[in-house]
Structures are given as structure tokens and as C-alpha cells.
A = this chain, B = another copy of it.
Amino acid sequence: MNLILLSEDDFIGANCVQLQGRRFKHIVEVHKASVGDLLSVGLIDGPIGKGTVTSLTPDAITMELHLDQQPPAQLPVTLILALPRPKVLKRVLIAASSMGVKKIFLINSFRVEKSFWKSPLLSVERMHEYLLLGLEQARDTVVPEVLLRPLFRPFVEDELPAIMEGSPAFVAHPGAEEPCPRDMKRHVILAIGPEGGFISYEIEKLASIGFIPVSLNERPLRVETIVPALLARIF
């Protein structure tokens, strides 16, 4: 936790918060904070800055806030991800959130197992929790938006063309001849398939609306590896 994320519910005064539970425990056990210490804090979807510890009891901490900085720049990307298996989804949400992705569509694909769509990890609360872990890691406050699209074709035909408007769109496809672009200074749409990749029909469907298949090289990689790799390559 490189940043302690605060919500409106934590405020007990204009510039004063009180924390219990997970964050309190972390501050005591990991930061080993004492009264007077300065901690990195940020308001969810708001500014970041410092909190001065003003009191510490066995089950709560209070801090006075000085929030005077903007959170780090976001990545100008819309990530379209075939829904990974639940434990991979967790890692990918944390990684994408920490790298500054702010919009993620989780979509269906032929190789996505139907059971993945029933995972309790897809609840708003659980996903929010993972997204916050990524923000705390990267000292960010702006919570990414995650949207579920369990039908491939209607999403690609009816919704995706408007999302893509004005942005170059790439689909990761191991072995594609076109190398993944580097150092893009503009908004990009990036689609990444499931383990085993998108099937030909899906690649063709995406290509038909303007997606360019690209690859890092000929190596097929795990989803949790390719997501940070492509984000770091493209931006």
C-alpha cells in the first residue's frame, strides 16, 4: 500500500479522517506509524497528498489531511479483454489498475469458459476491491470503470464502432506480422484474447471494423503477462 485511499465515509471533520479495519492494520503493522508521522494518502477519484497522524488508539487512527497534488497521468487506452479465469482476472485487474488503465470491457469469446461468467469475482464489490489494490500500489486515486459484455457479436457490431471512433485499434494476436506499435501519444483501443487466443472468426470480425492484429513476437504469452507487456510497449 504505497498510498492510503480515503473515501467520503472516512471523514470526521473538514480535513480529518478516522480509519479502522484493513487500512488501520496496514498503517500500524507495515508502516509502523506513530503520532506526527506523515503518510501518503489520496481521496478516491480526487487529489493525493499527505496525512499527518494526529491520534492512534488500539483500533483506530486519525489523520489531518493536506491534499494538494493531482494523481498520476492515466494511460489513454480502452482495454477490451476476453474474460480471463477468475484468479487471473484478479491479477489482471490489479495490474491494469496500477498501470493507469481507466476503462476496461470484459467480453466473451469462443475460448472463454461459460463458468467464468458466473464467478463471484465479477461482482461490483470484488472488482472494486482489486481495482483499489492497483491504485494503492501505484499511488493513484481514479477508479477504473469495468464493463461486462457477455455477448461477443452484439458488442463488436453494435457498440464497439462508436467506442473506437477516432482511435487506432489493435488486437493482440501472437504471430501477427504487424509488430505492436510503440510510444503512441494518443488514445488507443487494445483488445486481448483469452488463453489460446481469439479464434479466426473473432479476429476477422474485429478486423472488419478496423482492428489491426499485432504481436510482440511469435511467443504466445499468458494473459497476466501480455497485459502489462503490451501496455508498456504501446505507451
| Residues of A near any B CB (own CB < 8 A) | 2, 72-73, 91, 94-95, 98-100, 137-140, 182-183, 216-222, 224-226, 228-233
Query: Once the chains bind, are B72 and A217 in contact (CB under 8 Å)?
Result: yes
Minimum CB distance partner of A98 in chain B: B221
Contact among B183, B218, B232 for A228, CB-based, below 8 A: B232
Query: Once the chains bind, are B232 and A98 in contact (CB under 8 Å)?
Result: no
Contact among B72, B98, B140, B221 for A99, CB-based, below 8 A: B221
Query: Once the chains bind, are B95 and A219 in contact (CB under 8 Å)?
Result: no
Minimum CB distance partner of A183 in chain B: B182
B residues near A228, Cβ cutoff 8 Å: 221, 225-226, 228-229, 232
B residues near A224, Cβ cutoff 8 Å: 91, 95, 224
Q: List 25 A-B contacts (CB under 8 A).
A: A2-B220, A72-B217, A91-B224, A94-B222, A94-B225, A95-B224, A95-B225, A98-B225, A99-B225, A100-B219, A137-B220, A139-B219, A139-B220, A140-B219, A182-B183, A216-B232, A225-B228, A228-B228, A228-B229, A228-B232, A229-B232, A230-B232, A232-B232, A232-B233, A233-B233
Query: Once the chains bind, are A221 and B138 in contact (CB under 8 Å)?
Result: yes
B residues near A222, Cβ cutoff 8 Å: 94-95, 98, 137
B residues near A91, Cβ cutoff 8 Å: 224
- New A-B pairs, 15, CB < 8 Å, besides A138-B220, A139-B219: A72-B217, A95-B221, A98-B219, A98-B221, A98-B225, A99-B225, A137-B219, A137-B222, A139-B220, A182-B183, A221-B228, A225-B228, A229-B231, A230-B232, A233-B233
